[in-house]
Amino acid sequence: MSTDPEKDAGSSITRKDIFRDAPDFEVADAFGVTLALRFRNFMIRHLELVFVLLIAILVCAIFFILPYRFAFLNLFYLPVLLAAYILGKRKAFYASLNIIVIVGVTAIIRPEWFAVGGNVTSTLIMIIIWGGFLVLTSAGIGSLQEKLAKGFEETRRLYEELKRSRVAEEMKEKVEKTLYTTMDPVVAKLATEGKLRIEKREISIMFCDLTDFTAYSDQNPPDIVLDELNRFIGSIEPVIELFRGHIDKYMGDGVMVEFGAPIDYAQHALMAVLAAIKMQERIRDIGLPWKMRIGIATGYTIVGMMGVHRQAYSAIGDRVNVAKRLEEICEPERIYVDEYTYTFVEPFVNVKKLRNMGYSRQSDKALLEELRVLEHNLAEEGESAELLYQMGKAHFGLHDASAAIVCFERALALDPDSTDLRLAYADANLKKDEFEKFQLKGKLHKIAVYEVKNIKSRWHDHTVIPRALSERYRDAEAGVKVPVDLVLAVESLDGSIGRGLLVGMLSYALADSLNLNEDLKGTILQAGFLQDIGKEAIPHHILNRQASLTEQEIKFVEKYVLESVASLKRLGYVNGQFLEIVKHHHELWNGNGYPDGLKGEEIPIGARITAVAEAYSAMTSWRPYRGPWDVRLALNEIRKNTEKGFYDPQVVDVLFEILKFDTSFVNADQVSSLSNR
């Protein structure tokens, strides 16, 4: 170690070296700080030595300087407290014992210093009592200090862990935020949780792109092209998200989307078709310089994270290729689907089966006119083999082989020995695939292709609602102001398409027949339209369950009415009367309903009306576990349930009056067997 006083301990650099270029006052200040730090470090390293020296000084002061020595023995509490606080319980205890020994020995050697009442025994007893309190003080303060130190250390450790956890959480948030901007949020969440796997699953795939985009991009500046393209993407993304589609990738002006993956929604084909319809509507509304075409195919594909270093969730397989080829042959502003998709969506949308030749030829126009004349003659004269034969030939000329086959079969039933009919029937069967199926690029076999036209309206289905009734309330229907697309997205979860409009309009008709005021009728219409919006909170596999639900699942489903109220409040609906109707539309007239078990007149009149309308809608609609009931069976079932105390009898009487369906011939056995399905 250097003996140079100008050098710091453990260092070969002198004070002059450190502060060579500094002003004098800065050198003085810095040197003072250095000395203070060195003194503090010395005190920390030699704390026990300092404590011993303090004891020695106190002993000398009390025994050799201060009078009334016994009174000043309490000064020894100070070093003991200091030792207990800094050194801990054990060392403080030893220190107190050492002090007691020193004082005791001193009292024996110089009893006159500690004389209490002139009695040595009393002095020793007082010293023992004082020493006992000193030991207790050291032990108590030492224990408290150790607990505090332990608590502080635990707090410090927890703080460090929290800080590390917070850093990790912030990092996770940044990663998730980055992922959400580059991929579907659902995929990003499942990926971070390690819940994605490669599997074979039945899904629906959609491809869409814009017509004439290449020519437009060649003729316009890139900033304008990108601005228009982003406007296109910005208009369709919310629709795809609303119907639970996963955007796989953007391909210039094209988009690939999967429905039913990564979340396996049962109604994936319906969601895909509804999204396509709404996308076409959105593109027409915003007035882009292009038109869009969409192809959709349904079937089994392989889905999962694709790639090694840079991964993306995607689908591969034959159905992906079919969807892409359908998009390629699709006409602008049209939606083409394959036959498997058609089987899923046929109850909900109007479609047209395509044939290989359009109606553009002059001969086609002549055949269409001939067909109209033949259909008129058939209606006037009745069926005949010759008339049906001519109709079949007209359909065959239009390449509508299926319609031609039907006509030839009906004609053969009337004239089974006709050679011309047999030949025509055989020829139509041979040409069916050629006329009605398309050869897609890369496919060995032709496939049937269907064009989606529009969504079926159950309110305008005259087998469910009489034409006169729907016509009477045409103006009320036009004035409905609700988030229709949001309702449609919720209805797509279980295939209850059109339920909202039917319940709302039928409830309005019932309220009108009951002579309720205009404001209340409008409130009831809105409530009927929106009261099932909370179904979004029910797991989709329960909504589409074909088997019976368990008691626990039934209780879970019953909570959806409260979720409907909460969802509507979030959407800005604050009318108390409106929310009460939504909340209580599953109450029963006999008090056995939910959520509050209201009975009779306690149930709001609007809720009693929408309950009856919803029961009729549910019975006459397609459900995942059964087909639609005939309206007469449905009305008889409602009447029977009214007798059981389910519905307000006055509302049910009005329902029968405005629908005017004859239900008298439906017997109880038919109703009972159907209600048990």
pTM: 0.69
Q: Which of residues 427 and 270 earns the better pLDDT score?
A: 270
Mean pLDDT, rounded, for 490-509 = 95
CB burial of residue 271 (10 Å; 0-12, 13-18, 19+): buried
Q: Is the pLDDT of residue 73 over 90?
A: no
- Residue of higher predicted confidence among 133 and 39: 133
CATH class of the domain comprising 458-675: mainly alpha
**Mean pLDDT computed over 84-93:** 68
Geometric angle at alpha carbon 75, from 70 and 76, rounded to 5°: 95
149 or 560, which is more confident? Answer: 560
Determine the pLDDT at residue 218: 84
For residue 130, the one-letter residue type is W
The full 3-state SS of 525-579, as one line of letters, equals HHHHHHCCHHHHHCCHHHHCCCCCCCHHHHHHHHCHHHHHHHHHHHCCCCCHHHH
Q: Is the pLDDT of residue 663 over 60?
A: no
Closest CA to 401 of 429, 382, 379: 429
Looking at the predicted structure, is the pLDDT value of residue 30 above 60?
no
Residue predicted with more confidence, 79 or 638: 638
Lowest mean pLDDT among 119-133, 513-527, 644-658: 119-133
Q: Are 655 and 510 in contact (CB under 8 A)?
A: yes
The closest alpha carbon to 529, from 610, 471, 467, belongs to: 610
What pLDDT does 671 receive?
39
Residue 103 has a pLDDT of: 73
pLDDT at 62: 61
> pLDDT averaged over the chain?
82
Q: Structural domain boundaries of the chain?
A: 47-153, 196-347, 362-441, 458-675
Residue 10 in this model has a pLDDT that exceeds 50: no
CA distance 92 to 143: 10
**What is the tens place of the pLDDT at every residue in 283-297?**
998 888 889 999 999
Give 167-180 pLDDT, tens digit per residue: 777 777 776 666 66
A 10 A CB-CB count for 393 gives: 20
Local structure of residue 465 (DSSP, 8 states): S
Q: Note the pLDDT tens digit of each residue in 473-494.
A: 999 999 888 999 999 999 999 9
Whether residue 272 has pLDDT greater than 70: yes
Q: Which residue has the higher pLDDT, 97 or 520?
A: 520
Q: What is the predicted pLDDT for the residue at 18?
A: 42
Each residue's pLDDT tens digit, 523-562: 999 999 999 999 988 888 888 888 788 888 888 888 899 9
Q: What is the pLDDT of residue 623?
A: 86
Which stretch of 176-185, 271-280, 382-391, 452-461 has the lowest confidence by average pLDDT?
176-185
The percentage of residues in the chain with a pLDDT greater than 90, rounded to a whole number, is 42
Distance CA 89, CA 455 (A): 83
ω into residue 595 within 30 of 0, thus cis? yes
Percent with pLDDT over 70 in the chain: 78
Helix (H) or strand (E) holding 360: none
Q: How far apart are CA 405 and CA 249, in angstroms?
A: 43
Give the class (CATH, top level) of 362-441. mainly alpha
- The CATH class of the 196-347 domain is alpha beta
Condensed to tens digits (0 to 9), the pLDDT of residues 639-648 reads 999 999 999 9
- Of the two residues 160 and 444, the one the predictor is more confident about is 160
- Looking at per-residue pLDDT, the higher value among 649 and 191 belongs to 649
* Mean pLDDT value of segment 637-664: 88
pLDDT tens string 220-263: 898 888 888 899 999 999 999 999 999 999 988 899 999 999 99
Q: Does the structure show a pLDDT above 50 at 576?
A: yes
pLDDT at 465 (0 to 100): 94
Asked if 196-347 and 362-441 have one fold, the answer is no
